[in-house]
Amino acid sequence: MTGDDRRVAVLGAGMHPWGKWGRNFVEYGLAATGEALLDAGLLWTDIQYVAGADTIRNGYPGYVAGATFSQALGWNGTQVSSTYAACASGSQAIANARAQILAGLCDVALVVGADTTPKGFFSPVGGDRRDDPDWLRFHLLGATNPTYFALYARRRMELFGAKEDDFAAVKVKNARHGLENPNARYRKQITASEVLASPMVADPLRLLEICATSDGGAALVLSSMAFARRKGRNGPLATIGAVSTVTPRFPQTVIDMPNFSTDSAVAAPVKGPGFKESVANAAYEEAGIAPEDLDLAEVYDLSSALELDWYEDIGLCKEGEAERLLRDGDTAIGGRIPVNPSGGLSCFGEAIPAQAIAQVCELVWQVRGEAGPRQVEGARAGITANQGLFGHGSSVIVTV
């Protein structure tokens, strides 16, 4: 299956704004679904398949998100699936819905994810689980999420000479982008001095350089190309040309991060021999495009330092050149290849099942020319990059 045969149409995209609302996660998913259906010009009763992205911190309904959202929308016999892949859950849900459409098992599908999150940083769930690497890295190593974000940052400083000023500059750029995004949680212009004056959390990362935990929701309505043509949508038709969820390769001749980090090498090619392919490379191959064909990217900036790694991992520049790309303004709106025009996790925070879906929403609005003040001029192709626990990674390519 190649070319047009592998594409599915994105008829609708919708989000519930990110924040700390303290309400049931289902409410956020329903709001996002309503926006996506309105955008698609469809009714809930038109949907033939629901792919839910799971949340594991919201009780049993979160573990069966597809059915939970279907029940809340009103039982109508729709087929469902529920998927958990940590921060890549949304991409796995997209992959499920896309597979159903490409297999001819349905014409139109809803993908939805939403979360209500705790204060502070995420911790292991399920109590005392001494055989769980996620539990072990907290309790044996004291490696909370900010700690291993900092290990990535420190590695970048040692290998490529990154400076704290570079990490601050990423935050400044993303804050400027998110200022114009009505769905972003943090909408405030920030200076480099303010970033560098914020409290140190895990050296060298400061408070304003680490993403928060957030509530939020995102949804997409996907369809076959034939259904989309029958629908006759006005304006540019956004399509998904690739969804990659590949895992690392064995043997690991070079170890990117210890397994205790829980996301070792999931979505990025490791420096040196070994992991020559990343999820991004697999997505490029499937979509039949290359990094130079991109107009923008939405990457997973758990920390501002990690965004720099992504520039290289998705092929925007050679290894060790990310800082130059940033300093030259290439990754800002108006530059050669804007990264995180939405504001990224820096402005949104983590709403785990929703964030990979939200990345695709942003690409859809951008390639349609509907992103308003944050519009990337002439955007026609974009890529997402996302990572999750235990070898889960994802990359989605959206084009018109």
At 116-166, the pLDDT tens digits run 998 877 777 777 877 877 778 777 777 788 888 899 899 999 999 999 999
pLDDT of 218 strictly over 70:
yes
Integer angstrom CA distances of residue 255 from 25, 292, 293, 308, 337: 37, 28, 30, 19, 29
11 confidence band (pLDDT: 50, 70, 90) = very high
Tokens representing residue 16 in the block = 């519930």
Per CATH, 3-119+215-237 and 133-209+241-399 having the same topology is answered yes
232 confidence band (pLDDT: 50, 70, 90) = confident
Integer angstrom CA distances of residue 335 from 239, 318, 322, 363: 24, 18, 14, 17
* pLDDT value of position 270: 34
pLDDT of 262 strictly over 70:
no
- pLDDT per residue as tens digits for the range 153-208: 999 999 999 999 999 999 999 999 999 999 999 999 999 999 999 999 999 999 99
Q: Which residues pair with 53 in a beta bridge?
A: 83, 113
Q: Give me the percent of the chain exceeding a pLDDT of 70.
A: 92
* pLDDT value of position 4: 56
* pLDDT value of position 128: 80
Burial classification of residue 170, based on how many CB atoms lie within 10 Å of its CB (0-12 exposed, 13-18 middle, 19 or more buried): buried
* pLDDT value of position 257: 47
How are beta strands 393-399 and 381-387 bridged, if at all? antiparallel
* pLDDT value of position 121: 75
> For residue 248, is the peptide bond before it cis, meaning its omega torsion is within 30 degrees of 0?
no
Please state, in angstroms and rounded to a whole number, the distance separating the CA atoms of residues 303 and 307: 7
Domain ranges of the chain: 3-119+215-237, 133-209+241-399
- pLDDT per residue as tens digits for the range 35-68: 999 999 999 999 999 999 999 889 999 999 999 9
Mean pLDDT computed over 232-250: 85
CATH 3.40.47.10 corresponds to the domain 3-119+215-237: yes
74 confidence band (pLDDT: 50, 70, 90) = very high
* pLDDT value of position 250: 58
387 confidence band (pLDDT: 50, 70, 90) = confident
Please state, in angstroms and rounded to a whole number, the distance separating the CA atoms of residues 14 and 221: 9
Comparing 257 with 356, the larger pLDDT belongs to: 356
- pLDDT per residue as tens digits for the range 269-318: 333 333 334 778 999 999 999 999 999 999 999 999 999 999 999 999 99
Residue 22 has φ and ψ, to the nearest 5°, of 70, 25
* pLDDT value of position 133: 76
Tokens representing residue 50 in the block = 């629901």
Burial classification of residue 192, based on how many CB atoms lie within 10 Å of its CB (0-12 exposed, 13-18 middle, 19 or more buried): middle
Mean pLDDT computed over 231-245: 90
CATH 3.90.190.20 corresponds to the domain 133-209+241-399: no
pLDDT of 342 strictly over 60:
yes
